[in-house]
């Protein structure tokens, strides 16, 4: 009986060991696949960025070379139009570089940001202030209907960057005299932030791919504005690092709504 008992226990231990080994192997394989995907997406990101930076500067060099070699052949009106186009392109490239620097800084210092209590209304107001001139240029009203008592645990700079990029996207696709509305509430352990506009909206395919690295959208805004194509991708990355999730809802000609959900207990700002 003792021999049988020993043999039985040995078989059980072997079985447990094999199951543990298989589980560890599966977990390791899953981590390897995630790492491969991360590396592929990062390589794709830098490939896209390098192309986006190279093309405009090649055009700048060509145009400047023409002006240097034959400036007399340009009329004042032609020079004015060309310089305005160049200014628009430079501003767009500046936005791209700004997003790249913020994104790369987070990648290098992914463990240095801290989740601290902040007034959500103040973060949203700060983000609105940052894009105020852009909104005024199209006479777009941006209002924040978030309670001043709502406290959110987050990284101020990270969340502000996300909101600012979403607001810039809404301004881009909202016609003159449009409206962008921000509000937030707390429910079931999460804080939900909404940014809604009454712009041109998106079709189903565009909506499906707006956060995809390999299918980024670079649609032209209602006043011909151009985008970098990486703002929304960066927003998704930042929100995930904050432990939250982001998605959008939209229909053509019915505006768009972006939602951010951040985990955290409910608290209020102390007066």
Is residue 195 within 8 Å of residue 252, measured between CB atoms? no
**Nearest Cα to 152, choosing from 113, 118, 186, 188?**
118
Please determine, for residue 111, whether its predicted confidence score (pLDDT) is greater than 90. Answer: no
Choose the CATH number for 116-268 among 3.30.870.10, 3.30.420.40, 3.30.565.10, 2.40.128.260: 3.30.565.10
Give the pLDDT score at 163.
94
Q: Which of 16-30, 72-86, 90-104 has the highest mean pLDDT?
A: 72-86
- Of the pLDDT bands very low, low, confident and very high (cuts 50, 70, 90), residue 55 is low
Q: Between these two residues, 37 and 239, which has the higher pLDDT value?
A: 239
Tokens, residue 83: 């310089």
Domain residue spans of the chain: 1-112, 116-268
**Helix 2-70 × helix 76-108 angle, to 10°:** 160
Say how many C-beta atoms besides its own lie within 10 A of residue 250's C-beta. 22
* CATH number for the domain formed by residue range(s) 1-112: 1.10.287.130
Please determine, for residue 264, whether its predicted confidence score (pLDDT) is greater than 60. Answer: yes
Mean pLDDT score of the chain: 80
Please determine, for residue 36, whether its predicted confidence score (pLDDT) is greater than 80. Answer: no
Give the pLDDT score at 158.
86
pTM of the model: 0.67
Mean pLDDT over 173-180 rounds to 96
CA distance 154 to 122: 13
Q: Between these two residues, 124 and 46, which has the higher pLDDT value?
A: 124
Mean pLDDT over 97-121 rounds to 73
- Of the pLDDT bands very low, low, confident and very high (cuts 50, 70, 90), residue 269 is very low
Is residue 130 within 8 Å of residue 144, measured between CB atoms? no
Is residue 115 within 8 Å of residue 154, measured between CB atoms? yes
Long-range contacts of 242-248 (CB under 8 A, 24+ apart): 242/115, 242/154, 242/155, 242/158, 242/159, 243/115, 246/162, 246/211, 248/202, 248/207, 248/210
Q: Between these two residues, 121 and 5, which has the higher pLDDT value?
A: 121
Is residue 88 within 8 Å of residue 59, measured between CB atoms? no
Q: What are phi and psi of 83, to 5 degrees?
A: -70, -35
CA distance 22 to 42: 30
Give the pLDDT score at 10.
57
180-232 tens-digit pLDDT: 999 999 988 899 999 999 999 999 988 988 888 666 566 777 887 766 567 88
Give the pLDDT score at 152.
92
Lowest mean pLDDT among 37-41, 186-190, 256-260: 37-41
Q: Which of 54-58, 140-144, 215-219 has the highest mean pLDDT?
A: 140-144
Please determine, for residue 122, whether its predicted confidence score (pLDDT) is greater than 70. Answer: yes
CA distance 84 to 77: 11
CA distance 19 to 248: 41
Identify the H or E element spanning 185: strand 179-187
- Of the pLDDT bands very low, low, confident and very high (cuts 50, 70, 90), residue 271 is very low
Q: Which residues are bridge partners to 262 per DSSP?
A: 191
């Amino acid at each position: 009986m003792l021999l049988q008992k020993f043999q039985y226990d040995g078989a059980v231990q072997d079985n447990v060991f094999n199951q543990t080994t298989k589980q560890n192997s599966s977990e390791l394989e899953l981590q390897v696949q995630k790492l491969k995907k991360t590396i592929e997406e990062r390589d794709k990101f830098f490939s896209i960025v390098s192309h986006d930076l190279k093309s405009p500067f090649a055009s700048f060099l060509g145009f400047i070379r023409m002006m240097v070699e034959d400036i007399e052949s340009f009329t004042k009106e032609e020079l004015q139009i060309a310089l305005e186009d160049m200014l628009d392109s430079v501003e767009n490239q500046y936005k791209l570089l700004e997003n790249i620097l913020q994104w790369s800084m987070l990648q290098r210092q992914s463990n240095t940001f801290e989740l601290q209590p902040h007034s959500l209304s103040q973060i949203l107001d700060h983000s609105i202030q940052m894009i105020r001139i852009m909104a005024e240029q199209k006479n777009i009203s941006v209002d924040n209907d978030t309670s001043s008592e709502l406290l959110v645990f987050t990284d101020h700079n990270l969340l502000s960057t996300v909101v600012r990029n979403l607001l810039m996207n809404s301004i881009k696709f909202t016609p003159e005299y449009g409206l962008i509305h921000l509000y937030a509430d707390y429910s079931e352990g999460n804080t939900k932030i909404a940014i809604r506009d009454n712009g041109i909206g998106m079709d189903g395919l565009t909506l499906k791919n707006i956060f995809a690295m390999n299918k980024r959208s670079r649609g032209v805004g209602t006043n011909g504005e151009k985008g970098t194509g990486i703002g929304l991708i960066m927003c998704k990355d930042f929100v995930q690092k904050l432990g939250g999730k982001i998605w959008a809802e939209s229909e053509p000609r019915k505006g768009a709504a972006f939602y951010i959900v951040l985990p955290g207990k409910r608290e209020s700002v102390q007066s």
